[in-house]
Amino acid sequence: MTDMRVLISGGAGYIGSHTVLALLDHGHEVVVVDDFSNSKPTVVGRLEELSGKHVPVHAFDLTDRDKTAHLFGSERIDAVIHFAGLKAVGESVAKPLEYYSNNLDSTFSLLAAMRQHGVRRLVFSSSATVYGDNAPVPYREEYEPLSAASPYGRSKVMIEHVLTDVAVAENLKVALLRYFNPVGAHPSGRIGEDPQGIPNNLMPFIAQVAVGRREKLQIFGDDYPTADGTAERDYIHVEDLAAGHVAALEHLDAMAEPARAFNLGSGTGTSVLELFHAFERAIGRELPYEVVGRRAGDLPAYWADPARAADELGWRTQRSIDDMCADVWRWQSQNPEGYPDA
């Protein structure tokens, strides 16, 4: 596989930053574009520190088509990994127009620039939310019809359809990566998840309780039809997820069809309480929590069937729940307030 120069949209974000390091480690070059609306510029310095390589950064909003086209004209780009977008499920319900506008327009802008400059490889950051509420567990890529319960999720469904249609019409190669629940951090403790405001996901909430930023964890419901009554999800270490992007990128040219979906998950469900107690093991002490009512729309349990990624990409998760918790604690304890401002 020849080394590529890869544009990473949203490359300063949680998953994007870990993928930047994985690409550099595999001999590829990277160019980052990020508007820093949900990330900090200080991330870039840490990426350079960890990789020992220069990471060129363009700071603007990808919905600006002129700036996006100029970027493609000023940098040699062989492929794109598209992370950029708004991503909070609850906020998307309150601000649907902002979510549809940002997530769709940034994708249209990228596709127009790719067409103009002859770039034909794209890896897209999709989500397990595209399976909706009725897909049988474990989730398989063949499932139809895709649906979602929030504007965030529906924007991912729409973009998957857009990318598939454009790939067929314009001879692109597109991998649609459906993530399950990313957690963990780089083992150095230098980069990790730094949500702005109240976290939307379980793991950073637990970590902020452990570091003293929050009083206690709220567990939403303990009366689900699961082993311990709490909801089960498929957690994947962000380092494994980053490796999945490299595997997908390097597989694009060999894909038989223009666009193909891949689940990136472990294939195992872990309950809220199991993850919580694993974190307690990682830090060596008990943490406070309380059980409150279920949240509307939360499913009891789901996880991936990761067989397609294993068979076609040669990719599998390598890291355990205990690894995830230990790495998150290393990140959070070294960076109790997250990344410093620039």
State how many domains the chain has.
1
CA–CA gap between residue 235 and residue 220 (Å, rounded): 17
Looking at 152, 179, 235, 339, which residue is catalytic? 152
Please classify residue 125 by burial: count the beta carbons closer than 10 Å to its beta carbon, then call 0-12 exposed, 13-18 middle and 19+ buried. Answer: buried
Q: Would you say residue 249 lies in a domain?
A: yes
Cβ pair 150, 174 in contact under 8 A: no
pTM of the complete model: 0.97
Per-residue pLDDT tens digits of the chain, which is 342 residues long: 579 999 999 999 999 999 999 999 999 999 999 999 999 999 999 999 999 999 999 999 999 999 999 999 999 999 999 999 999 888 999 999 999 999 999 999 999 999 999 999 999 999 999 999 999 999 999 999 999 999 999 999 999 999 999 999 999 999 999 999 999 999 999 999 999 888 888 999 999 999 999 999 999 999 999 999 999 999 999 999 999 999 999 999 999 999 999 999 999 999 999 999 999 999 999 999 999 999 888 999 999 999 999 999 999 999 999 999 999 999 999 999 999 987
Q: Would you say residue 230 lies in a domain?
A: no
The parent domain of residue 48 ranges over 5-183+235-265
Q: Would you say residue 98 lies in a domain?
A: yes
Give the pLDDT confidence score for residue 2 in this predicted structure: 75
Q: Would you say residue 295 lies in a domain?
A: no
CATH at residue 31: 3.40.50.720
The alpha-helical segments, DSSP class H, found in the chain are 14-25, 42-51, 65-74, 89-94, 96-117, 151-170, 202-210, 238-251, 272-283, 307-308, 321-334
Q: Would you say residue 304 lies in a domain?
A: no
Q: Would you say residue 342 lies in a domain?
A: no
Q: For this structure, is 224 an active site residue?
A: no
Q: Would you say residue 114 lies in a domain?
A: yes
What number of CA atoms fall less than 13 Å from residue 288's CA on the CB side?
8
Q: Would you say residue 276 lies in a domain?
A: no
Give the pLDDT confidence score for residue 90 in this predicted structure: 87
